[in-house]
Structure formats: C-alpha cells, structure tokens
Structure 1
C-alpha cells in the first residue's frame, strides 16, 4: 500500500479537532524561521532537487547478488533513466548518514538527491526549550565539535575526562546543556568516540571504518523549524521523532513531557504544514497516546522496541492487539522483528504476520545502518544473520520486506538502494 494512502487513511480516521497547544517554552518558541541561515530561528537556504541521482551503490549491490529472478529483475531496471523520489524511501537521520554527519543539512540534501520522499528529524530540546534535530538528547560529545569549544564544553552535563590509569576517556554533552544560539554555533561531525583520547578535541573521532569523514568538515546543524522549512522547500514529507528525554521531566520543574510533545505538533501547525504530510514518531508509548488524543489529524507511528530478545518477542506480539484497540494505525519495528529464517530462506516473521492481520501500516528501520555484511553489527539482521553472507543479500531482504511483509516504507542511512528498489517495483 502506498505510504501517502496509509497516511491519508490515518488522518481521515480521526475526526476530532486538535487538542489545545501546550504551554509555550521560553522566548522564541512559536516563531517561524526567518531568512538568515546560521542564526537561531533562521531558515536554511531554499533547496531544490531537479534530478534523482543514485550513484554506484545500488549497482554494486546488484552485481554482488547471487544469480536468480530477483537479480534479473533488478538488472533490468538499470535501464531506468529517470528515477523518481518515493515515500517508500525514508531518509534515516537525513538519509546520507553513511557518509555525512547525521541530521545535518548535508545529510538531508544527500537523502533528497537520492530520492528519499520522507526525511527524518529526531527532535530534542535545548536549555531555552527550542527544538533541534539530534538523534539523542545527549550525543553532542560524539556527533559535534562541542568539546573543541571550551566555553560550551564547560557546560556539558559531564565535562571531558581524559583517558588515564586504565580508564577510558568520557564526556556527556546534551542539547539541554546549551541554548539554541549555542547549538547553532556547532559543527556536525560523523558519529564516533575515541575512548583513548587525552585531549577533548580528539574525543569525537574514531569513526567506524566503513563510514566516511570525507564530507564531515563542518556539517550544518539544524533546528526543527529549519528542518521543516527545508523539507517544505523540497516538496517532501516529514517524519519527526520525539526523543525520550535523558534529563528528569518536568525539565526545570515546569516543562512537562506533554508540553514537549505538543510543542512538536505546534511547530508544524505554525509553519502551515498539512498534518497528513507529517508522521509523528516516538519510542515512548505515552507520547503516541497523547498525539492520538490531542493531535488526531497528524499520523502517529510507534517505534516498537519491546521484542528485543526471543524471550520478550511473544509479549511484543501479544501487545499488538492493545495497540490496535488504542487506535494506533502505523507501526515501526526494527528490521529483524519482521523477518525470520525458514530453512535458509528469509520469510515474514510471526510479528509481521500479526501486525498485518491487525491492519497496521508497517515501516521498518534501518537499512544501511550496519555497513558491509562482513563487518556489520548483527542487530538489524539478527534473525536472518546466518543466511545473509554477501552485500547483495540486502536486496533479498528488501524484497521480502516489500512483497511478503508488505511494509509501506523503509528507513535507510544511504537512500539510493532503497529508492532503486522502490522505482524498480513501482512503490510510489
């Protein structure tokens, strides 16, 4: 089923009006972005993508596939001259994270140029209660250059401690430690930490070898408002994730979780975005219940992480009945929840079958997150790791997810292969 259709159905299913906006944060909240990129509340330059450019990776993966009907089909699509953007291809942390700093302007533009029809901003809040794009509230020490700026490094929840006496280097820097203006002064870097560092400027290094720092000279960090304006200018759809806070809530005694969840919604309303173009995400189920009640015209998708082990998976499956009764229509588990190994063949899992039976629209995460099969963390493929032995098997996995599980979208750290598959099989 097309993602637009599922999103439209989800929004039409809720007839009640918006809930009342949450209490504003500190000065600046609620104001749309303005021209003047680089300043708090400013918009990134208007962007446009004229042609979709996939580069060599999809073709590399096809060439690496075992012979068979799927490879033949994908080979035939090499003749496509005009690839299209598709909402089946979702830019994880922007969509260019394999080679560009996550949640940066550059990662988002890479995802858009590779055909991602939906771009993600993971949302955290600053000390002045402004929303920014960051995968975790407390990841600045290994995704930005904050430790290289002494006046900001001093504000970190846990300042840098050098490696010494057999103990690793450490730091913890959160968006809630600094203001939006201070956040905007940072450079996004490729994710990585050097626990042997003896100097703070050396901590945010040690990037995984299969990622690249070629484009990580100084990635442009984005506020949530800037991200909205960027995606609007590109004509794409939005999938923001409200990150679960790592600081006690209510923050500073009066900024509650519900205010935080409502603020996310408010920024789309204030920017004039059609709610049907927005899918709100959270791992915190209480956020989902809040949005289902207070922002029913928006789409809400639960990021399910309740079945992390074989022992907890039966409970995760059993909980799907209650999710459906709660009015949830969209579900996003990690890839491995959705597939199983059936005598050496990738098939739909029991979780996937139950979710389909209940009528959920299913989105999976995250392709291209683990690098080459030979070097990959097995997290995203743990249930089929014994039968994925070459990089071309990624396309076999996509095929089962699309044709047997029936997912409506796939997050990816490098959007091109997912876009290629979607174009080849007409998933628009």
Structure 2
C-alpha cells in the first residue's frame, strides 16, 4: 500500500522558524592550491576484463590509459572507500577523494551534548568503533553481553550515550561484529571476508564540522544525510527534531559554505519539507531518499508517490539501485517504471549504493537487496559496469553513491560525465 498524501502533507506543515547566520552570497572557487591527482588502482580494469564481449567493454577498454579527473557523478558513500577502509572516517574520505569522488558524504547523528558527528546510524558504535573494549563501553545503552547458552553476543552503543569529546577518543573500524564472541575484543572481529582489516588499525572518527572543513579544503561538494534519531524526541526534553534539522544547515552557514555545494539528504520526508520551507537555498538541492517500496510497500507503490513529492517541491529523489533497473526478456538491464515515472515528472535522481555487497556471484546467490530486481541478468563482477551504464545513459541519474569510488569515477570520465 503506497504512502498516502495526507500522511505526508503533515511534513510540510510541521516546521518551526529558526534564526540562522547569513547565507554566503557566492559559491566560491575551488581552492587554488588543490591539484590532486586522481588514482583509480586496478579495480576498473579488473571489472572490464570480466565483462562480456561487446561495445561497452570495448568503449571502457579504450579509456584505460586516459587521464582521469574528479567528478560529481561519483559520490563517496560513507566516504567512498568502505570496501577497504572504515566507513565515515577521515581515512575513507581521503581514499574516496583520491579515487575521484566529487561529492563526499557524512551521515549525521548527534551526541549526548548535542554535537553533530558522522555515523551511518546513531546506534552503530558497537559495530563501527572499538567502544566496547574501552571504558566508554559501560555508558552504552546496552553494554556488551557475551554469547552464552545459544544466545548471541549483544551490545548497543549510540552517539547519544557519549559526548563529542568522548566520541573523538574512539577508533573507527570496519563495520561488523562476531555474534559468538565471549569477550569484547572478540566481538570486534566480524569483518566480512570479502573486505579487509588491512587499513583498520585506528581510523579517525569525525564531527560534522571536521568533515566540512576537510572536504572544503579539497574544494569539493558535500552531502550530509540527517539520520533518524534512535532516541525519543525531544531529546533530553528540549532538543527538538526541528532544531536537529536546522543545526545541520547552520553548520554549513557558519563554515561559509555556499548552498550550491551542499546536497542535504534524508529518508524522512518531514526533514526535506523543513528544509524546503525554512532553508530554501539548501532545500532546493535536498535529496529525498525514497525507500517507500520496501517492507509492506512495493516499488510500484513507491512510483505512485512520486507525483506528491514533485508537487511538494522535492526536486531530487534518491531511491536504491533496485528501484531503478529491471531485466527484460533477454536478460538486459532496462529502466524500471519507477525510473521512467520520475523522469517524466522532471525529478532528478541519485542512487545508492554501488559495490556495497561484495562479489556479485555471492551477492546474487544470496538474493542481495541491491541486485534484487536484476538477479536473473547478473552473472559476474563485470556486470557492475552494465549496471552503471544503464543508470547513466538510460535512466539519466545525476550521480551514484559507491563504496569504492574508483569504479564510478572511471565510467564517468570515459563518458564525459562531470
């Protein structure tokens, strides 16, 4: 059943005014001292060699020795390098930028003292940092409990359990945990075998303000996703959702960042509605992350909601990969009805998240979410470029979030998408 208009309209109406600093009047120029060489490594060539013979393989092969540059078509998901680097950390951002991501992402959550930090979920510290092995583990919502009697090891540690200063003492690690662990140290050992702990020594966690400063120093664009609070709001009795929505805007304004360089995101329509009404300079480039076709909904019902979003002022929708591509009778990737509906309405599209799932043969065998609508047409790692190609040329997406930026950067450079 698709989301009703009446249930979403409240998002337009629920908003409070808030004073902000003056918005910068000029976009600003890319820092003149930034002359970063883009390095893609061996993965694009590996994927090309694994493709079926045909014009696309030939076209991509012809670009292997071409000089590449940074492109906004390549969006660094959780930094852009979390196939091998701990997500949402300085190290992931550094690697994603080196691989040519022109837009870098910080997923935003808040701490106990109401500071904004980069975390994919407000309550993921137990799987993405070393918190359970530190004294701060005692402050977790649910401290570590060892596996016992057939019950899995558990923990739940949230950014709102600790202050910013405490958060900054943590080490970022690869996302994962060991459900059979009997000690906190063992609990940390859960990295999937198709990733690596080679660069997971003690990655640097970031506040949102630190993220802004770092990405600004590279002269790049920003995308900050406001994560849904995992604690009752208002937090501590008086920190409201509207203050949270406004705070993310204010940190960009205070840093002197022009709205044209900022792509705010949220899965919560009310967040986007707030920005459209109270921060329109930022709201016009805000992305509504649409996952309404999951769960009790369907991709078809999600497509039916697009007219409402368009009429409400949304300009960019961000559905996951499976919403945009399906397979025809010949096993070819083709645009889905969701994709064609969005384009007919004049909505721009970004999508997520490429290379989140490991080797495609394994992903397809497990019925992986990101490839759920193209399982019958997906057979090898090289099919990643087939997917990127239909998204770029036939769906016409603005950009693609990826866990390994080099792949999308390579394609974009080969086809002149900047």
Does the pair score TM above 0.5? yes
Equivalent residues of 2:318, 2:349 under 8 A apart: yes
**5 Å matches for 1:8-407?**
20-21=18-19, 50-80=36-66, 82-150=67-135, 152-298=136-282, 299-308=285-294, 312-343=298-329, 344-376=331-363, 378-407=368-397
Report the Cα distance in structure 1 between the residues aligned to 2:17 and 2:101, rounded to whole angstroms: 31
Report the Cα distance in structure 2 between the residues aligned to 1:77 and 1:310, rounded to whole angstroms: 44
CA apart distance, 1:49: 5.7
- Once the two structures are superposed, what CA deviation does each residue of 1:29-70 show, in whole Å capped at 9, x if it has no partner? xxxxxxxxxxxxxxxxxx956200000000000000000000
Report the Cα distance in structure 1 between the residues aligned to 2:310 and 2:59, rounded to whole angstroms: 36
- Once the two structures are superposed, what CA deviation does each residue of 1:213-258 show, in whole Å capped at 9, x if it has no partner? 1000000000000000000001100000000011111101100111
CA apart distance, 1:396: 0.3
Equivalent residues of 1:91, 1:415 under 8 A apart: yes
Report the Cα distance in structure 2 between the residues aligned to 1:76 and 1:257, rounded to whole angstroms: 50
Equivalent residues of 2:75, 2:400 under 8 A apart: yes
SS of 1:78's equivalent in the other structure is: coil
CA apart distance, 1:310: 8.9
For residues 49 and 148 of structure 1, do their structure 2 counterparts lie closer, same or farther at Cα, with a shift above 3 Å needed?
farther
Equivalent residues of 1:301, 1:328 under 8 A apart: yes
Report the Cα distance in structure 1 between the residues aligned to 2:51 and 2:291, rounded to whole angstroms: 31
Equivalent residues of 2:300, 2:337 under 8 A apart: no
Report the Cα distance in structure 1 between the residues aligned to 2:297 and 2:353, rounded to whole angstroms: 23
TM-score by length of 2: 0.90
SS of 2:360's equivalent in the other structure is: coil
- Once the two structures are superposed, what CA deviation does each residue of 1:67-93 show, in whole Å capped at 9, x if it has no partner? 00000000000120x200000000000
Equivalent residues of 1:89, 1:409 under 8 A apart: yes
Report the Cα distance in structure 2 between the residues aligned to 1:67 and 1:246, rounded to whole angstroms: 48
Report the Cα distance in structure 2 between the residues aligned to 1:316 and 1:251, rounded to whole angstroms: 31
CA apart distance, 1:202: 1.7
CA apart distance, 1:311: 5.2
Report the Cα distance in structure 2 between the residues aligned to 1:162 and 1:340, rounded to whole angstroms: 43
Which residue is equivalent to 2:25? none
Alignment RMSD (CA, Å): 1.5
Aligned equivalent of 2:411, options 400, 405, 421: 421
SS of 1:318's equivalent in the other structure is: helix
CA apart distance, 1:314: 2.4
- Once the two structures are superposed, what CA deviation does each residue of 1:103-160 show, in whole Å capped at 9, x if it has no partner? 110000000000000000000000000000000000000100001102x001000011
Equivalent residues of 1:249, 1:256 under 8 A apart: yes
SS of 1:121's equivalent in the other structure is: strand
Report the Cα distance in structure 2 between the residues aligned to 1:210 and 1:159, rounded to whole angstroms: 29
CA apart distance, 1:172: 0.1
Stretches of structure 2 that go unaligned for 5 or more consecutive residues are 1-15, 22-32
SS of 1:324's equivalent in the other structure is: helix
The count of corresponding residues between Structure 1 and Structure 2 is 386
Report the Cα distance in structure 2 between the residues aligned to 1:261 and 1:323, rounded to whole angstroms: 19
SS of 1:211's equivalent in the other structure is: coil
CA apart distance, 1:19: 5.6
Report the Cα distance in structure 2 between the residues aligned to 1:48 and 1:213, rounded to whole angstroms: 30
For residues 159 and 49 of structure 1, do their structure 2 counterparts lie closer, same or farther at Cα, with a shift above 3 Å needed?
farther
Stretches of structure 1 that go unaligned for 5 or more consecutive residues are 1-17, 25-46
